[in-house]
Every structure is written in structure tokens, then in C-alpha cells.
Structure 1
Amino acid sequence: MAMQQPEEQSNSPQPHLKKVIGVFGGSNILIGIMIGSGIFYIGSYVLERSGMSMGLALLAWLIGGLVTLLGSLCFAELGAMNPATGGIYVYLSEAYSPMVGYMFNFQSMLIGGPGSIAAIAIALPLALKSLIPMNGVVVKLVAIGLIVIFTLINYFGVDTGELVQNIFNVLKVLPLILIIVLGVFWGHYTPRWSVVQQPKGGSAVDFIQMIAFAVIASLWAYEGWTNLNTVAGEMKEPQKNLPRALILSVGFTTIVYVLFNLAIYRALPFGQINHAIQHGQLYLGTAVAERFLGQFGTILVAVTMALAMISSLNGMILAFSRYYYAAAQDRLLWKPFAHVHAKFRTPDVSLFAQMLISIVLVLTRELDQLTSLVVFSGAVFNMLSILAVPMMRRRQPDTPRPYRVWAYPWTVIIATLAFLIILGNNFIDDPLTSILGLAVPAIGAVVYLGFRRYYRVH
């Protein structure tokens, strides 16, 4: 399909995306994406990787939050300097080349965005199977229904999607706070605070590797922190509000994760926690709710998990659709993807294209396959985006920067090292999937050259 000239050359005014997202709404988008169902079970992996040392596990959660905060500070500088819709796509294009930006965008449009949406849509009915029996077909039908419903919600306006995000976030955070208060203040057990715990027969290097392994597990719970920059073009006063929303959302999420796991350690005896993890019973938050609230606690956790995944799903649908829009604005995707609905002021074609790709992935892939596809390439581009900070300071030293990264360059160095550890760990654990995760961006480079050649001819 041939693309036409940019919208700016049209005789009639074209609608633009609305700037309606403030600090509270922006923070809720990120909190909604980051705090999903993982809060109830990832803590078990962190504790197990910490050699069952509660003090070391809490330290891993703090380090994970700190690394995420350092990364978000880098994104705050990039976003405040160039508050355009598209996020990482924009930064990679400016710092390296348009081809690198498009490689990220291509994998985000085909796998990263729709894959994450499909994964969370499938995970939600799976989490409720204990309360509502469902077979595989019903699970996928529910997942498709969720994708359609929340695509329509975001089609009717970014302010509508933001309102839904705010409501579901508040509804999910209140039960989490209840569990935290019950565990921390009414729990009877004293956690084992010591962090000096080496593997049997292990050296100091083994100990450091164990900490790094535990931190990697915690970082998966913080995933999604990069997505607010995608809608920077729809934020009010993004130069001020984007950094504030990033810092507030990551800080709040870190506090919730640390206190939630502390509540588990206070409410449950170590023997019970150890036995549960050894037998694959990873949802320790559910056990805390059951201890204090009985059967109602089980239902409360199930509802909270559903609310958490709904807010995560809604936030992803809102944010990821902007990748299509940004690429079309740069004439690297067909013009209809840059269309903005005249009344609702949303990228309607991009939203529905994302919906269709997500549905295809729901029908053709299982949950574990979807999550494996998006992890490795996503970490590569996140790391490149962090390194874009020094690249842009060198390339554009005179460009106004309303926000500058704290403790530069150490912020960039530490965050980059953290992502290198993640990438190395993923490649060692699953080299084939890691390589496949880079194949789609490589194809994106070929598609980019095709679009560029097309426009040279036309």
C-alpha cells in the first residue's frame, strides 16, 4: 500500500493526540503495568535464589528497585529532552540511527507489544481457574474478549483509558496494603535478617553470583518501567511531569514489593515458607491472606490478582499502540497507522492493528512461549536506550535538558552493567530463544531499508 505525503501538507487541519496525562495518571500507567500478578509469586523465586536468606532476599528487592530507578532516571532525561510520542523508538533513532530505532519499533509492533498483551490476557483467566473452572479453549476466548474490551476503552479516548487505569490501580493497591498491614503489624514471626549467607563450600564469587541471580528474579517484577515514555507526547508539561511520574512510580513500586515480602516473612513461619517453595506452592501472598482472613482471603487475593492484571493489560494497550503511530509519522509504516480519530483523538488504526496481532498470538502461542519471545530483545533495547544518554550528550550538547540524570555517569554505568548481567543470564539459560528474539529486529532492518528505498523511488 503506497503511503501519501505527511499530514502537515494537507489543506485541512488534522486531529492530534490530546495532552491529558498528568503526574498521577502517568504514575498509574507505570504502576499498573509493573505491579501485576507477579507480586504474589516472584518473591518465592527471589527467596529461593537467595539461599532462603530473608535478609538477602529483601536486599535483592531493594537492589532491583534501585537498578530500575537508575534506568528510569536515564529515561527521564531522554523524555524531558524530547517529549515525543514513541519513547525508545525516538531515542534510539536520534542516538544511533533511524534504522536502530526502527528495529526496536518493528519487534515491538510484531512481538514485544502484542506478545506482552497476549501473555497477560492469557495469564488472567489462568489465574482464576481455581475459582472458575475453564478449559484451554475458554481461557483463550476470555483472553480475546479482554483484549477487545480494553482496546475499545482506549479507542474512546486516552482520558478514558487513563481513568480506567486509575480506578483499577486504586482497587488493586488497597487489598495489597491490607495484606501488608496485616503481615507487618500482626505477624508473630521475626525474619532472619542476616545477609551473610554463602552457598555451602562456596567462595565470595559464588556469593556475589547468588545475589546477582536473586536480583535478576526481582527485576522481572519491575518490568514495564520504560513504557511511560511511549505516551510522553500525550502528557501535560512532560518536561516536568515525566521525570516526576517515573520517580514516583518506581519508588512506590519498590516500597510495595519490599513491604509485601516483609509481610510474608512476618506472617508465616520459615518452615512453612521453605516447605511451600520446595513443593512448588509459590503464591505465598495467598497464604498470608488465608492466615488472617480465611476463605475470604483466598477470594480477596484472586480478585486482587485479576485487578492487577487488568490494570497491567489496560496500560500496555494504551502505551504499546503508540509505536505504530510513531513509525507511521516517520513514514516507516503505512499512513493509516498515523491516523488520529477526529472525535476521540486516539490512534485508532494502530490500536485495532495491535488488537488483531495480539489475538493472533493468543490463538497460536502459549503463555511461556510468549514471555520467552519478548524478554531478550527487550533487555537489549533497554540497555541501548540507557546508553543513549551519553550518546545524546555528546551529539547534542547544547540541547536544553529540563532534567539531568542524578550522579551521572555512575547512574548509566550501574544500570548498563545490570542489563548486561540479565542478558548474559538469559543467553546462558536459553540461547535459542535469545537468538530468535533478535531475529525479528534483524528482519526489521530489512523492512526499514525497503521503506527508505520506496520513498526514494516515489
Structure 2
Amino acid sequence: MQEILHSTTEALTSESTEFKREIGVFGGVSIIGGIMIGSGIFYLGAYVLERVQMNSGLALLAWIIGGLITLFGGLCYAELGAAMPVAGGRVVYLNEAFHPVVGFMSGFTDWLIGGPGSVAALAIALTTVFKSFIPISDFGIKMAAITLIILLTVLNLRGVKLASSIQNISMVGKLLPILLIMFAALFVGKVSPDLSLTSTTTSSPTSLISMIAFAVVASLWAYEGWTNLNTVAEEIREPHKNLPLALVIGIGGIMVLYTLFNYAIMRVLPHEQIVAMITSGDLYLGTAVAESVFGSVGKVIVSLGMILAMFGSTNGLILAQPRMYYAMAQEGHFFKAFSKLHPKYKVPTAPLIVQAVFSIILVLMRNLDQLTNMVVITGMIFSVLTILSVPRLRKKYPTIHRPFKIWFYPVSVIITALIFTGLVIQAAIEDPVTGITGLVVPLLGAVTFFIFDKQRKEQV
């Protein structure tokens, strides 16, 4: 038993790999930021405000809490990824912490829903932006989304260096218009927003906490995507050092960006105007700020920012997700073709192609709202289990070198896991159909695992 544990430890901690290690710290930050910073920065602030009864102070507090929750979740991933710099991300951690079936259920859910659903949702959202400039039908939007998915998949099939370079360029490109709007609003804005935390009709502490939690759930969709860097850990240079650094810089920087961007909105738009816009169904507060500061050019700046943001998010997901399916196949519990890398470009070719096919099917079958709800709930379930993997693996592999350890352990792990669990339950109550889907699909994954596992044992 000790020999098995020793060989497993060596495999998990070794930096030798068939992949090419071509992603540095900036590349890692670009992957995180490229996936996390999407179009939501321009409109999710409206949902957060709505859920705290239009209280500006509580809205900013919700953004900060959402960022801190995400950061501590990211720190758990940083400890796991630095100690085990292998492809697959949370599939690997769940395998080792609990049982291979748990990791497979996570990967299977991402393979069937999470990865393709996110790619499809972003592709549809990106192409929808063009409706503001040219007449395009819903069918035309879907065809444009499919074309985008095919294009980015082909580029990713050419190797991680090219895909990472695209990610770096799109990251810088989309930050420029966002930062331009934000800093211009902060300096030009003359409104002094009321940031007191008491101007709500909610009186009891329990109701107030529940209200803030509901707003935090909305903010977490904007932070979605922070788990994806670990799936390419085997392609990061000096992962023991660079992976935690990229996670801390990426998530911490985005938390500051989101908070300041939403404060900048409050500096430009009077509170009465914000309330009137949200009440009328106009959620794009960021667009209104850009038009207020830059005039008619502002709409072009926002549209450019949204296009670049979603382009980077889509490319980042297409880059990261297939590495998870590769890890599942490497363990002998998935299609053999998924375990092979391209002889020249060293990328998991079959998983990339299959993900593109599934994404295209979802583009044709689902709308944007259905896709986003489906992805969030199913993803959070396994985020909770991955966070709990930290104490499990500390006990199971006490001698593994951990160059990075989560801060304030074990309190930080317990609180983060409890918060994510509460958010999963609340989200499932709000959308029971998607909640049921979030349970049925992993169970289907468990059945699939045991079928492959039986075949693998029969071949031995």
C-alpha cells in the first residue's frame, strides 16, 4: 500500500509531462481574466442593485463579498494545483480526495453541460452584440455563433502557444475600453452616491443577510471561470510558483476592477436614473455611463469592450476545458481517443473537436438564459467538493511538498465551503428544473464511470 501511495505521489507532483510548458504568469492571468471578464461587467450590477433594494452601499458590499469568496475558493485551487501540477484540474483532486467516480462525475458534467454550455452561451452573447449595428435575425446570430466556435477550436488545435497568445492579446484589448470607461467615470463623475448600509425596508438581521446573499449569487456569475486555470497546470512554466501567483493576481485584480467599475457607475448616473433604468428593464448601466461620458462614441467603446471580453472568455474556455476530459481518459475511465495528444501540437485533439460539436448542438437547442443558469448550478456543486479536497488531501498525502498553502486554514476552508453550499441550495430553490438537472447529469456520469471501469478491469 505504501508503494502505491509513493508512486501516486510522484506522478501527481512531477513536473515532467508530454505537454509543452509554454504558459507564464501573465498567460495564466490572461486565461483567468479572459474567462471571468465577460459582458456581465456591463449589466450584472443592475441585478445586484435590484436584489439589495437599490442600496448602493450594500451592492458594493455584495461585489466585495463575492470577490472574497471567489478569492478563497481560488486559494484552495492554488494549494491543490501547486502541489499537483497535472492536467485535469478538479477532476484529479476529487479523484485523489474522495474516489475516482467523484472526479469523473465532475468531468462528465463539464463535458456534457459545463464546458459546451459556457462556450455556447458566450458565443451567442457575443454575436448578439452586433444587433446594435446591423440587422441580424436570431437564426443569423446562431450561425455566427457556430462559425466563431469552429474558428476558435481550429486555432486551439494548432497548439497551446497560439491559443495562449490569442488569450493575452484579447485580455489586453478588452481591458483598455473597460479601464477607459472606469477611470473617465471616476474622474468626470460628480455624483456622491449614498453608501450607507441601512437605507432598506429590511429590518431584521436575518432578512438583511439573506438579501445580501441573494445579491452575492448574482455577482458570482461575473466571477465565474476562476476554476479553469488548474486544468492547464501541466502547460504552465514553474507551476509550483506561477500557478498560485496567477490565481491571486487574477482573482484579486478582477475583484478590485468589478468593485471600482460599479462605483464608477454610481459616480456618473444619479441614483434616481439608475432605479428608473432598472425598473424599465434597461440593465446596461455601463453603456449608459459610456454614452454619458463619451457621447455617441461611448456606445461603440462599450460594444468593442463587450466583444473583446466575450471573445477572450470563449477562447479561454475552449483552451482549458478539454484538458479535463483528457485527464479522465488518462485514468482509463473515458474514451481512449481522449487520452491522446496531437503528435506535433501536443493538444488533446479529440476532446477539443467533441466539445465544439456539443457546443454547436446547444447553440441550436437553447437560449442564452437557459444556458447560463444550467452552467452555474452544476459548476458550484463540484466547487464545494473541490474546496473540501484541501483538508482531505492534507491528511492523505501529508508529505507532499506544498509550496503554497491557503491562508487562515482551516477556518477559511470551512467558511468558503459553507458559503458555496448555501449558494447552491439557494440557486436550486430559485430554479428547481436546473437544480434537478444539476443532480441527474452527475448521476448519469456515475453510471458511465462504472461501465468504463468494468470494461477496463476486463481488459486487464
Q: Compute the TM-score of the two structures, normalised by the length of structure 2.
A: 0.94
8 A Cα contact 1:58 1:261, kept in partner:
yes
Residue of structure 2 equivalent to 1:169: 171
**1:129 match: secondary structure:** helix
The residue identity in structure 2 corresponding to 1:41 is Y
**2:95 match: secondary structure:** helix
8 A Cα contact 1:198 1:206, kept in partner:
no
**1:41 match: secondary structure:** helix
d(CA) in 1 for partners of 2:425, 2:452: 33
d(CA) in 1 for partners of 2:196, 2:335: 57
Q: CA deviation at 1:347?
A: 1.2
**2:74 match: secondary structure:** helix
d(CA) in 1 for partners of 2:212, 2:361: 39
d(CA) in 2 for partners of 1:228, 1:315: 9
The residue identity in structure 2 corresponding to 1:39 is I
- 1:116 pairs with 2:118: yes
Greater CA drift, 275-284 or 353-362: 353-362
- 1:136 pairs with 2:138: yes
d(CA) in 1 for partners of 2:374, 2:200: 33
- 1:260 pairs with 2:272: no
8 A Cα contact 2:333 2:456, kept in partner:
no
**1:39 match: secondary structure:** helix
d(CA) in 2 for partners of 1:290, 1:340: 48
Q: CA deviation at 1:432?
A: 2.3
Match of 1:36 among 25, 35, 38: 38
Residue of structure 1 equivalent to 2:378: 377
- 1:153 pairs with 2:155: yes
d(CA) in 1 for partners of 2:115, 2:404: 28
5 Å-filtered alignment, 1:210-289, equals 210-289=211-290
Residue of structure 1 equivalent to 2:51: 49
Residue of structure 2 equivalent to 1:453: 454
Residue of structure 2 equivalent to 1:407: 408
Greater CA drift, 183-192 or 47-56: 47-56
Q: CA deviation at 1:16?
A: 2.2
d(CA) in 2 for partners of 1:239, 1:197: 47
Greater CA drift, 43-52 or 378-387: 43-52
Residue of structure 2 equivalent to 1:4: none
RMSD (CA atoms): 1.1
**1:83 match: secondary structure:** coil
Greater CA drift, 326-335 or 157-166: 326-335
Residue of structure 1 equivalent to 2:13: none
**2:405 match: secondary structure:** coil
8 A Cα contact 2:221 2:376, kept in partner:
no
5 Å-filtered alignment, 1:410-429, equals 410-429=411-430
Residue of structure 2 equivalent to 1:310: 311
d(CA) in 2 for partners of 1:85, 1:415: 24
Residue of structure 2 equivalent to 1:11: none
Gaps (5+ residues) in structure 2?
A: 1-16
- 1:89 pairs with 2:91: yes
The share of aligned pairs that are identical, in percent, is: 51
Residue of structure 2 equivalent to 1:8: none
The residue identity in structure 2 corresponding to 1:91 is Y
Q: CA deviation at 1:197?
A: 3.1
d(CA) in 1 for partners of 2:54, 2:315: 35
5 Å-filtered alignment, 1:348-387, equals 348-387=349-388
8 A Cα contact 1:122 1:362, kept in partner:
yes
Q: CA deviation at 1:128?
A: 2.3
Q: CA deviation at 1:373?
A: 2.0
Greater CA drift, 371-380 or 277-286: 371-380
d(CA) in 2 for partners of 1:333, 1:298: 47
Q: CA deviation at 1:22?
A: 0.8
d(CA) in 2 for partners of 1:197, 1:413: 32
Q: CA deviation at 1:127?
A: 2.5
The residue identity in structure 2 corresponding to 1:178 is L
Q: CA deviation at 1:372?
A: 2.3
Q: Compute the TM-score of the two structures, normalised by the length of structure 1.
A: 0.95
The residue identity in structure 2 corresponding to 1:195 is L
8 A Cα contact 1:122 1:140, kept in partner:
yes
5 Å-filtered alignment, 1:287-366, equals 287-366=288-367
Q: CA deviation at 1:136?
A: 1.5
- 1:70 pairs with 2:72: yes
The residue identity in structure 1 corresponding to 2:349 is D
After superposition, give the CA deviation of every residue in 1:198-222 in whole Å (9 maximum; x if it has no partner).
425x312111111111112111110
The residue identity in structure 1 corresponding to 2:123 is A
Greater CA drift, 112-121 or 207-216: 207-216
Greater CA drift, 154-163 or 368-377: 368-377
After superposition, give the CA deviation of every residue in 1:374-422 in whole Å (9 maximum; x if it has no partner).
2222111000000100111111112211111110011112211221221
d(CA) in 2 for partners of 1:341, 1:455: 24
Q: CA deviation at 1:90?
A: 0.3
d(CA) in 2 for partners of 1:420, 1:451: 30
8 A Cα contact 2:52 2:59, kept in partner:
yes
Gaps (5+ residues) in structure 1?
A: 1-14
**1:132 match: secondary structure:** coil
Greater CA drift, 94-103 or 216-225: 216-225
Residue of structure 1 equivalent to 2:5: none
d(CA) in 2 for partners of 1:133, 1:33: 28
The residue identity in structure 1 corresponding to 2:264 is A
Greater CA drift, 25-34 or 121-130: 121-130
8 A Cα contact 2:46 2:284, kept in partner:
yes
8 A Cα contact 2:55 2:200, kept in partner:
no
Residue of structure 1 equivalent to 2:191: 189
The residue identity in structure 1 corresponding to 2:152 is F
Residue of structure 2 equivalent to 1:26: 28
User: Which 4+ stretches in 1 moved above 6 angstroms?
Assistant: none
The residue identity in structure 2 corresponding to 1:457 is E
8 A Cα contact 1:75 1:229, kept in partner:
yes
Greater CA drift, 268-277 or 395-404: 395-404
8 A Cα contact 1:199 1:206, kept in partner:
no
